[in-house]
């Protein structure tokens, strides 16, 4: 019988010894064995830092984003291989869709983020801070490479999505990954990693993989490294005490199973009740309830608890349990018999604490099968009911009398990844938002207005935070750029403007370089950050203001009523702000056809001084930063500063243009 292999130091390897058996969840057949005994895990940490780190940083943000997109496309074309394997984990095709296609979707999402990132590996934050009156000394916060690796410790329930949702932000940040698979589904994770490596898109050392225990890998970590863990709270608490975190300074990011809640609001109507019932039934069905975000506790007003229970039961009782490879099967087994034993023990503990079985699906319960079960806790205040999680198709229902009582009960869970509140009333939603802000990582408001479009209670999205406080682990996964930034080191850089501009790739005041040729005559590659055009001047007249009012239909009194304007804060008639913008464009635009293709947008506009007839304007236009958009075009950001005859800035903004690339 073959062993699930690990990929370390640039080659596939097998661990020593017999290992732990991986079994088909539905049939119990042994599929292979997992062992990491004797594998060079400490060496893999150092090799990832040196080889993988160097290779990734040679690419820069945009290229790494392009490779993520290409990898997503590559996996999309070959995902049927993963679908075939998925049935051995107990998952239906719908379950596989959530895991496989969901993971590929994360790659696409993070690849799109790279379009707005600069070349290179430094990510400037905020704006430059002037530390001297003459601007010769400035400071800025930056995010840069840590020089370490990220060690993934993945859970059994999502062998594809779990790996990819951690890998994508790390790869985009330029951080190598060492991924550890959970034993029951390690064979699926191995197949995924083989496909990723076969794509040829990943630089050497950027992804390593271990099936089996970590051995001494944690001992090799230091302040440059991070561990991203998904799993049980008990394991997370044990890992946090490792010297790598307490003494070595490595980052520990925990995402642990939590007692997520769903609440039917007092203002919820019949449609909200039905939609929430559908949501609860779905959470008990997808992955057979084996999701860290699944609904574990349900709270409803006393008089509406029974209708909600019956609505959930009605959606579950028609489900067919069986081998997911059989036609017509809706629900497969748990991932292993060991998982079933844990769920049985948790249900027994909940019954001991005072819950009772309200309904249990009559389907099969042999092997690793566990039928969907609805528990009812009529005395909801017992703390033990809010401390035990059955990691399967089990939910406990609680009545409440007032929102304050419900809030107290929900808080007994000690922190959640996600909670759903079903209400159409914004004020009721405000109560829950304020009350649960410190208890939950994501709050999902469900009502008649959004139910048709909602992505659901249990589906983390790449652009939104996945994590939660307290029992949920206290970590942050996903979240778009939040996740990318978490992999980088934040530092304050202090320097002269020329050095600051050269290092950040963004314009620093005082580092201007006069343009020898009008910058609109230059291709994207030829433009330099800091390149500056000083325009000729234009004196505004009464006729300019009157004509612009006529053209724009903007007859605001400050522009057209002499008496009212004198009595205003301006003390005279002033030009329209948008006329100042238009006049500025007339000063800096080169009208002939050239590499500048279009105005792409305008950001951060401020009018800082009034402008009237007799004032003279000029513009300073500076290349602020640039980023490639595709093979043919790039986006150039220009710092535009409009000044009057006294040298005062009357308007400032960032202009974005689409500029052609050479060739």
- Categorize the per-residue pLDDT at 31 as very low, low, confident or very high, splitting at 50, 70 and 90: confident
pLDDT average, residue stretch 347-375:
92
What lies within 8 Å, CB to CB, of 647 at 6+ separation is none
- What is the H or E stretch that residue 546 is in? helix 542-552
3-state secondary structure of 481: helix
pLDDT of residue 1: 66
pLDDT average, residue stretch 641-663:
94
Separation of alpha carbons 296 and 389, rounded Å: 7
**pTM confidence score:** 0.90
pLDDT of residue 28: 86
All domains of the chain in start order, with CATH: 41-126+140-257+483-489 (3.40.605.10), 261-455 (3.40.309.10), 495-660 (3.10.129.10)
As to burial, measured by CB atoms within 10 angstroms (0-12 exposed, 13-18 middle, 19+ buried), residue 272 is: buried
pLDDT of residue 663: 73
Separation of alpha carbons 495 and 125, rounded Å: 15
How many residues does this entry show for the chain? 663
Q: How many other CB atoms are found less than 10 A from the CB of residue 58?
A: 11
pLDDT of residue 18: 87
pLDDT of residue 631: 85
- Categorize the per-residue pLDDT at 602 as very low, low, confident or very high, splitting at 50, 70 and 90: very high
Sign (positive or negative) of CA dihedral 310, 311, 316, 317: positive
CA distances from 220 to 208, 429, 547 (A): 15, 47, 72
Angle between helices 186-198 and 79-86 (to 10 degrees): 170
Strand order in the sheet with 416-422: 356-360, 373-376, 394-400, 297-301, 261-264, 416-422, 440-446
- What is the H or E stretch that residue 251 is in? strand 251-256
- Categorize the per-residue pLDDT at 92 as very low, low, confident or very high, splitting at 50, 70 and 90: confident
pLDDT of residue 257: 87
Separation of alpha carbons 98 and 110, rounded Å: 18
Separation of alpha carbons 520 and 638, rounded Å: 11
Could you tell me what percent of the chain has a pLDDT over 70? 100
Pick the catalytic residue: 190, 255, 272, 283? 255
What lies within 8 Å, CB to CB, of 71 at 6+ separation is 107, 196, 199, 201, 202
For the chain, the average pLDDT equals 93
Residue with tokens 């290229």, as numbered in its chain: 63
Separation of alpha carbons 387 and 381, rounded Å: 12
Structure confidence by residue, pLDDT tens digits, 54-84: 999 999 999 999 999 999 999 999 999 999 9
pLDDT of residue 444: 96
Tokens linked to 30? 């042994």
Pick the catalytic residue: 14, 292, 477, 512? 292
Could you tell me what percent of the chain has a pLDDT over 90? 79
292 given a catalytic annotation: yes
- Categorize the per-residue pLDDT at 482 as very low, low, confident or very high, splitting at 50, 70 and 90: very high
Residue 152 pLDDT exceeds 80: yes
Structure confidence by residue, pLDDT tens digits, 431-477: 999 999 999 999 999 999 999 999 999 888 999 999 999 999 999 98
Of 189, 195, 193, the C-alpha closest to 155 is 189
- Categorize the per-residue pLDDT at 96 as very low, low, confident or very high, splitting at 50, 70 and 90: confident
The dihedral formed by the CA atoms of 529, 533, 534 and 536, expressed in degrees to the nearest 10: -160
Residue with tokens 């689409």, as numbered in its chain: 658
CA distances from 27 to 87, 157, 159, 287, 323 (A): 11, 18, 20, 17, 8
The dihedral formed by the CA atoms of 519, 523, 524 and 526, expressed in degrees to the nearest 10: -70
Residue 49 pLDDT exceeds 90: yes
Q: Are strands 150-153 and 226-231 parallel, antiparallel or unpaired?
A: parallel
pLDDT of residue 25: 83
Please say whether the beta carbons of 365 and 386 come within 8 A. no
Structure confidence by residue, pLDDT tens digits, 254-266: 999 899 999 999 9
Residue 397 pLDDT exceeds 80: yes
Separation of alpha carbons 365 and 363, rounded Å: 7
Strand-pairing partners, residue 244, are none
92 vs 584 pLDDT, higher one:
584
Separation of alpha carbons 600 and 655, rounded Å: 8
Please say whether the beta carbons of 403 and 266 come within 8 A. yes
pLDDT of residue 157: 85
| Secondary structure string (H, E, C) spanning 162-229 | HHHHHHHHHHHHCCCEEEEECHHHHHHHHHHHHHHHHCCCCCCCCEEEEECCCCCHHHHCCCCCEEEE
Please say whether the beta carbons of 480 and 106 come within 8 A. no
Q: For 546, phi and psi rounded to 5 degrees?
A: -65, -45
Of 228, 240, 163, 231, the C-alpha closest to 202 is 163
Separation of alpha carbons 525 and 634, rounded Å: 9
Residue 519 pLDDT exceeds 70: yes
Tokens linked to 479? 């979240």
pLDDT average, residue stretch 108-113:
95
pLDDT average, residue stretch 521-531:
94
């Amino acid at each position: 019988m073959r062993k699930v292999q690990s990929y370390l130091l640039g080659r596939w390897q097998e661990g020593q010894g017999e290992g732990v058996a991986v079994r088909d969840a539905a049939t119990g057949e042994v599929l292979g064995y997992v062992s990491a005994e004797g594998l060079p895990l400490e060496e893999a940490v150092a090799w990832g830092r040196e080889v993988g780190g160097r290779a990734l940083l040679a690419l820069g943000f945009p290229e790494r984003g392009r490779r993520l997109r290409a990898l997503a496309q590559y996996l999309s074309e070959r995902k049927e291989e993963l679908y075939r394997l998925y049935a051995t984990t107990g998952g239906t095709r719908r379950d596989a869709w959530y895991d496989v296609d969901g993971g590929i979707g994360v790659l696409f999402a993070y690849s799109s983020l790279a379009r707005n990132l600069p070349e290179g590996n430094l990510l400037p934050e905020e704006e430059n801070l002037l530390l001297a009156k003459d601007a010769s000394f400035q400071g800025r916060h930056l995010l840069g490479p840590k020089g370490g690796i990220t060690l993934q410790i993945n859970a059994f329930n999502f062998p594809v999505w779990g790996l990819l949702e951690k890998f994508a932000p790390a790869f985009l940040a330029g951080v190598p990954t060492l991924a550890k698979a959970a034993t029951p589904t390690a064979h699926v994770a191995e197949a995924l990693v083989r496909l990723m490596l076969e794509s040829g898109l990943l630089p050497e050392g950027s992804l390593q993989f271990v099936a089996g225990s970590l051995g001494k890998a944690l001992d090799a970590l230091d302040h440059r490294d991070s561990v991203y863990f998904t799993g049980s709270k008990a394991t997370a608490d044990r890992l946090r005490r490792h010297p790598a975190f307490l003494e070595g300074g490595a980052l520990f990011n925990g995402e642990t199973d939590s007692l997520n809640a769903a609440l039917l609001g007092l203002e919820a109507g019949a449609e909200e009740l039905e939609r929430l019932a559908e949501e609860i039934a779905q959470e008990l069905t997808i992955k057979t309830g084996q999701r860290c975000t699944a609904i574990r506790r349900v709270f409803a007003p006393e008089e509406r608890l029974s209708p909600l229970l019956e609505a959930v039961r009605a959606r579950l009782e028609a489900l067919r349990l069986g081998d997911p490879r059989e036609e017509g099967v809706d629900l497969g087994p748990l991932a292993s018999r060991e998982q079933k034993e844990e769920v049985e023990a948790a249900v027994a503990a909940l019954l001991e604490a005072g819950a009772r079985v309200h309904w249990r699906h009559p389907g099969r319960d042999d092997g690793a099968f566990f039928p969907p079960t609805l528990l009812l806790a009529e005395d909801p205040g017992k703390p033990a009911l809010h401390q035990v999680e059955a990691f399967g198709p089990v939910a406990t229902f609680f009545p409440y009398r007032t929102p304050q009582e419900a809030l107290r009960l929900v808080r007994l869970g000690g922190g959640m990844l996600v909670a759903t509140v079903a209400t159409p009333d914004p004020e009721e939603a405000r109560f829950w938002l304020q009350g649960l802000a410190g208890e939950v990582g994501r709050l999902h408001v469900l009502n008649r207005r959004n139910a048709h479009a909602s992505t659901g209670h249990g589906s983390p999205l790449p652009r939104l935070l996945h994590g939660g406080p307290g029992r949920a682990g206290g970590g942050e996964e996903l979240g778009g750029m939040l996740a990318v930034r978490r992999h980088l080191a934040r530092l304050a850089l202090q320097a002269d403007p020329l050095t600051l501009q050269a290092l950040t790739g963004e314009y620093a005041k005082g580092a201007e370089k006069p343009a020898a040729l009008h910058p609109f005559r230059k291709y994207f590659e030829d433009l330099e950050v800091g390149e500056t055009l000083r325009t000729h001047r234009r004196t505004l007249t009464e006729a300019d203001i009157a004509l612009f009012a006529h053209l724009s239909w903007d007859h605001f009194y400050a522009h057209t009523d002499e008496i009212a304007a004198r009595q205003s804060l301006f003390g005279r008639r002033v030009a329209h702000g948008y006329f100042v913008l238009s006049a500025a464009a007339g000063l800096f635009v080169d009208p002939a056809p050239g590499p500048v293709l279009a105005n792409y947008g305008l950001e951060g506009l401020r009018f800082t001084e009034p402008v009237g007839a007799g004032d003279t304007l000029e513009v300073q236009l500076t290349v602020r930063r640039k980023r490639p958009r595709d093979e043919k075009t790039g986006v150039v950001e220009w710092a535009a500063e409009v000044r009057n005859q006294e040298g005062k800035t009357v308007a400032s903004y960032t202009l974005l243009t689409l500029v052609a690339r050479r060739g």
